[in-house]
Structure 1
């Protein structure tokens, strides 16, 4: 009997233990489920930056010089002396025009100059002796004509008084006498002018003719000079748009020359960062292919580009053998003195209603906290207000949590 009672007690105890274990398991399961429901976040502890930071801004590379070269005169291209991709030196001849017509123009202009100089020399020297002699003969001839006219008029007067001729005939001979007298006076005046030497107006006109002829000659020589296309600077031939024997107009592009000895990187810097950029500062420029070079800040715009809402900045890279191409994107790393500055990751800062904020963690509860940020240092924001050293904030994934939510921190 006692044996059966003992067995019953043992059975009851075993059943109780099993129920207790089930209850404990259920409690553990509930606890695990409640823990699993908590969101896990990465945390960042706010601290002072002990090292200088680097600001990174992307920009576009362009050659320092790129020029479309053209002839200054029209004509047929006689020769192209370079190839696309070739390297040329400053002053090197790149192409020429057919100079046949241009040389003819020079010869004609030189002939005009020579003729004008001869005319000027004659004008300065005055009339030659044979000219004076010719004019003297003209006077003698005019005198003879006058004498004849006087005789005829005297005879006509006698005949008129005798009624032999009409009054009209007498008047005609009187007029002829006056005209002969005027002609003689004109010839004598002309001789007087010739004896005075060079005429001032003739000399001035001759000088003007010489000057005009020289202008034409200079123009013809300039056209011949414009028929030779030379490199204004050393560089690489980027394109050749014309071919030999092809007609080209003055000013029409024939060759495009690029100076790859230096590069210009154009940046757009945000207003929060522009105060850190100084002209003359050193910048490390990195390309996507891994190549890098050192550049200098050569321009910082004093005014904002209203269309972009940022400030244009230019960095010049010189003396580098990088094989960059115009239009490629590079990153400029600008070293900043940001020591002893309180910073937080960019990924930990959100923007709502034009206000910056972070999600502060305290006793496993996140609280949306407004902050005032300063300059951006690479992937970090300077924090000026809203946080203190040692504060713990959500490091990333702000859209993952909401204000007042309980979380668990996985790491920092």
Structure 2
């Protein structure tokens, strides 16, 4: 009898203990609460991010041309504003100066010769008249005919020689005019260097550098894939890691039809193909300087699409999924994604407008978890 009593007491104690454990667990289990969202129609902007270098939009470099002679005079200084056609420097070329002097003397000599021949023809006409009075007109013409023909031939040759000398004069004049180098654009003189100044790599520097300082471009390169998405006049936002508090607006002004070929890679297989791209910057207020590296964010497309917040989408290898809430429990659903912005992700397939999508699922959330929607 005692044994049965003790068994009953033990069973009752176990039941009480299990009930207490369950009550304890229930009291200490946190309720899982989640926020949900539905698919929403939003405008998604597709961008291409490209690094680039800031440059002047228009600039001119004047390098020394040894074949023209020695630079005798630089006619501008740094900071000067110049117009198109403004003289920048002059060369000194002794050979060209001698050719000009020789040409002038030859032309003068040719004029004298022509004048003499004309005088001789006039004298011959007088001589013919005197002979005509003495021997008759026919005999007089016969007597001076050979001499007249010779003088006319010499006069014709002298005229040809004079035309040749005048053509030579034009050539020499152009050579001398080329000794004065003029600006091909309106702008500001950025730098004036000694004609023998060299860069760090040993190459000669430009003697004069002119640029239009109120207009800039950014140049970079596009991959094969990106070159198919970027088009002329697409809007661009530009930023700098150096000037962090500023951004600039621009638009695509040029896309290279042919790829850039880096030195030493011609004919090399598996070389990445890159196409040059230029962006013109709107406005002239630039805190950055030419040579600065900028990030070009090129807006390639705008579309209205079905989206959920980026944080709602999880990735498992090559697959993407979200959690929905159905009958108070989570359910994992695989989705096909599209374009993403900084806040939203396009959902192409896998969800309907009625699905309640967990807005920001915890990493340890599992399918089938009982949840309460906030």
Q: Same fold (TM over 0.5)?
A: yes
Rounded Cα–Cα distance in structure 2 between residues aligned with 1:197 and 1:128: 14
Structure 2 residue matching 1:338: 3-state secondary structure: strand
Q: 1:261 aligns with which of 214, 228, 236?
A: 214
Q: Offset of 1:329 from its aligned partner?
A: 1.2
Q: 1:127 to 1:301 in 2, by over 3 A?
A: same
Contact 1:54 1:336 in 2 (8 A): yes
Partner of 2:147: 194
| 3-state SS of 2:209 partner | strand
The partner residue of 1:298 within 239, 244, 253 is 253
Structure 1 residue 68 corresponds to structure 2 residue 61: yes
**Inter-CA distance 360–190: structure 2 relative to 1 (3 Å threshold):** farther
Does residue 1:24 correspond to 2:17, yes or no?
Answer: no
- How many angstroms apart in 2 are the aligned matches of 1:379 and 1:313? 28
**Contact persistence 1:123–1:198 (CA under 8 A):** yes
Taking the TM superposition and a 5 Å limit, the aligned residue runs for 1:52-131 are: 53=45, 55=47, 57-60=49-52, 61-70=54-63, 74-83=68-77, 86-90=79-83, 91-98=85-92, 102-120=96-114, 127=121, 129=123
Q: Report the equivalent of 1:315.
A: 279
Indicate conservation of the 8 Å contact 2:219/2:278, yes or no.
Answer: yes
Distance 1:77 1:105 in 2: 19
Aligned-residue CA RMSD (Å): 5.5
The alignment partner of 1:261 has SS state of coil
Structure 1 residues 81, 129: closer, same or farther in 2, change over 3 A? closer
- Quickly say closer, same or farther: Cα 1:376–1:314, change in 2 above 3 A: farther
User: What is the aligned residue count?
Assistant: 325
Structure 2 equivalent of residue 229 of structure 1: 181
CA contact (8 A) 1:80 1:243 kept: no
Deviations 1:372-405 (A, max 9, x none): 63x56566554434444446379799xx899x87
Structure 2 residue ranges without an equivalent (≥5): 1-8, 128-140, 199-203, 261-269
**Cα distance per residue 1:57-116 (max 9 Å; x no partner):** 3341332223321356522223334445x3532233333334666544433322223233
Q: Please list every run of 5 or more consecutive structure 1 residues that lacks an aligned counterpart in the other structure.
A: 1-11, 134-187
Larger Rg: 1
**Alpha-carbon spacing, 1:243–1:312, altered in 2? closer, same or farther (3 Å):** closer
Give CA-to-partner distance per residue, 1:137-157, whole Å, 9 cap, x none.
Answer: xxxxxxxxxxxxxxxxxxxxx
Distance 2:168 2:372 in 1: 88
- 2 CA distance for matches of 1:229 and 1:78? 12
Task: Determine which structure has the larger helix proportion and give its number.
Answer: 1
Contact 1:46 1:342 in 2 (8 A): no
Residues 239, 247 of structure 2: 8 Å contact kept:
yes
- Residues 74 and 119 of structure 1: is their aligned pair in 2 closer, same or farther, counting only changes over 3 Å? same
Q: Secondary structure at the match of 1:109?
A: helix
Residue equivalent to 2:167: 215
Tell me how far 1:43 sits from its aligned partner. 9.1
CA 1:388 to 1:357, structure 2 compared with 1: closer, same or farther past 3 Å? farther
Separation in structure 2 between the aligned mates of residue 239 and residue 102 of structure 1, nearest angstrom: 29
Aligned counterparts of 2:284 and 2:192: Cα–Cα separation in 1: 26
Determine the C-alpha separation between the residues in 1 that align with 2:259 and 2:238: 23
> Which residue does the alignment assign to 2:263?
none
